[in-house]
């Protein structure tokens, strides 16, 4: 018998020394979304091969941000290799997918599989497992999106009468997570869940808010983001206006859980425009001011919009300022991932 165990098999299990895997697990694999402020607070991007959850009230921009994430995954894989090349799958349980909006933010429908016939939790996890298995050996990053968890029932729930209730949906979702966790990591596939919030009945102390689908998404997710329409600064308007016309709204993204970096509780304010999607630079000046890299004037405009200064001069164009000062962006990474070089 050899003195050092290098490899041992027992059934389907495989035991290997960690030193052979250490280089792959030293840094989490991340896909940057392309929104500077969001990428900064989540530590660099969306984790690859993990569970991710976007949750929050209605009109919070959850589906819109999911469009941006899918676009980022598609672009991370480079040019399309062949007709069978796929970078993502969208399960549209809410039947709310808007192809025109997805294309406007830069998404490629040719690289996306679309499913609108899945109605139950069992069907979803079975079809998701088949899709992951079909593209498991593809070397490009892939993403599976479910919009949303709240719209999926169980097979038993669909077969019983309307006045009866089925309480096993959370258990089915929990089993689905356990079944797919290892396969996601091996196939470089991220599973993104869009979820809704509800108020628990009879809760008089603390936060009554909870998400649908039980505690499974909360426990298994590597990254959880809470999205809601609004602003970080009081007195600032959530709606974005050009003259008398509403062109978008502001969205607060708060990090509820992040296993990659210690960023729980951090929040950024993004801007969603109806015609162009999320602004890549929105919220960056606010984040720079929070880290004392730029100065904020105490007095703002009438609608509460902040005014920032750098070197005693007012910053008039956010995009131009960020392009001219890339060194400031490197400083944003230090509180979240000191070793990262942007």
- Report the 3 state secondary structure along the chain: CCCCCCCEEECCEEECCHHHCHHHHCCCCEECCCCHHHHHHCCCCEECCCEEEEEECCCCCHHHHHHHHHHHHHHHCCCCCCCCCCCEEEEECCCCCCHHHHHHCCCCHHHEEEECCCCEHHHHHHHHHHHHHHCCCCCCCEEEEEECHHHCECHHHHHCCCCCCCCCHHHHHHHHHHHHHHHHHHHCEEEEEEEEEEECCCCCCCCCEEECCCCHHHHHEEEEEEEEECCCCCCCCCEEEECCEEEEEEEEEEEEEECCCCCCCCEEEEEEECCCEECCCCCHHHHHHHCCCCEECCCCCCCCCCCEEECCEECCCHHHHHHHCHHHHHHHHCCCCCCCCC
Return averaged pLDDT per consecutive 10 residues of the chain, 342 residues in all: 44 57 60 93 91 94 96 84 79 94 93 92 93 86 92 78 59 88 90 90 80 86 95 86 91 92 84 92 89 76 72 87 86 61 45
The set of residues, in sequence order, having a beta carbon less than 8 Å from that of 245 and lying 6+ positions away, is none
**pLDDT (0 to 100) of residue 3:** 44
pLDDT on residue 207: 78
Q: What is the structure's pLDDT at 1?
A: 42
Check residue 4 and give its pLDDT: 45
Q: Characterize 3-12 residue by residue with b for buried, 16 or more Cβ atoms within 10 angstroms of its Cβ, and e for exposed.
A: eeeeeeeeee
Q: Tell me the C-alpha to C-alpha distance, in Å, between residue 163 and each of 158, 160, 170.
A: 12, 8, 19
Q: Which residues pair with 25 in a beta bridge?
A: none
Which tokens go with 265?
A: 């509780």
pLDDT in tens, 16-53: 565 555 445 555 689 999 999 999 889 889 999 999 99
Q: What pLDDT shows up at residue 6?
A: 45
pLDDT digits (tens, 9 = 90+) for 204-216: 787 788 888 888 8
> Which candidate, 84, 177, 198, 169, places its Cα nearest to that of 129?
177
Tokens read off for 337 = 């991932």
Q: Give the pLDDT confidence score for residue 260 in this predicted structure.
A: 80
Structure tokens at 193: 């869940």
Whether the Cβ atoms of residue 70 and residue 90 lie closer than 8 Å to each other: yes
> In angstroms, what CA-CA distances link 108 with 33, 198, 272?
15, 33, 20
pLDDT of residue 302: 53
**Token reading at 204:** 């008089």
Candidates 274, 267, 237; CA nearest to 252 is 267
Per-residue pLDDT at 210: 83
pTM: 0.86
As a whole number of angstroms, the distance between CA 62 and CA 335 comes to 26
């Amino acid at each position: 018998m050899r003195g050092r165990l290098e490899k041992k098999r027992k059934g389907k299990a495989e035991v290997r020394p960690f030193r052979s895997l250490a280089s792959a697990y030293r840094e989490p694999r991340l896909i940057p979304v392309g929104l500077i402020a969001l990428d900064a607070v989540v530590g660099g991007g969306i984790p690859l091969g993990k569970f991710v959850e976007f949750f929050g009230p209605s009109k919070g921009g959850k589906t819109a941000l999911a469009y941006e994430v899918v676009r980022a995954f598609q672009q991370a894989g480079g040019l399309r290799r062949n007709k069978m090349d796929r970078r993502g799958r969208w399960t549209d349980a809410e039947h709310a997918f808007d192809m025109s909006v997805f294309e406007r933010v830069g998404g490629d429908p040719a690289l996306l599989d679309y499913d609108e016939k899945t109605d139950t939790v069992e069907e979803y996890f079975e079809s998701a497992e088949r899709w992951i298995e079909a593209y498991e050996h593809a070397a490009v990053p892939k993403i599976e999106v479910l919009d949303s968890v709240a719209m999926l029932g169980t097979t038993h729930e669909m077969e019983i009468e309307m006045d009866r209730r089925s309480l096993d949906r959370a258990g089915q979702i929990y089993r689905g997570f356990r079944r797919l966790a290892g396969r996601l990591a091996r196939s470089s596939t991220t599973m993104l869940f869009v979820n809704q919030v509800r108020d628990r009945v009879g809760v008089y102390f603390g936060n009554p808010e909870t998400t649908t689908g039980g505690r499974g998404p909360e426990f298994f997710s590597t990254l959880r983001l809470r999205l809601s329409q609004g602003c970080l600064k009081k007195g600032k308007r959530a709606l974005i206006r050009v003259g008398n016309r509403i062109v978008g709204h502001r969205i607060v993204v708060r990090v509820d859980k992040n296993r990659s970096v210690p960023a729980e509780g951090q929040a950024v304010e993004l801007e969603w425009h109806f015609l162009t999607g999320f602004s890549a630079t929105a919220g960056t000046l606010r984040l720079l001011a929070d880290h004392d890299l730029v100065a904020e004037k105490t007095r703002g405009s009438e609608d509460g919009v902040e005014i920032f200064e750098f070197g005693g001069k007012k910053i008039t164009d956010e995009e131009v300022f960020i392009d001219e000062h890339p060194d400031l962006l490197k400083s944003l990474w230090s509180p979240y991932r000191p070793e990262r070089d942007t």
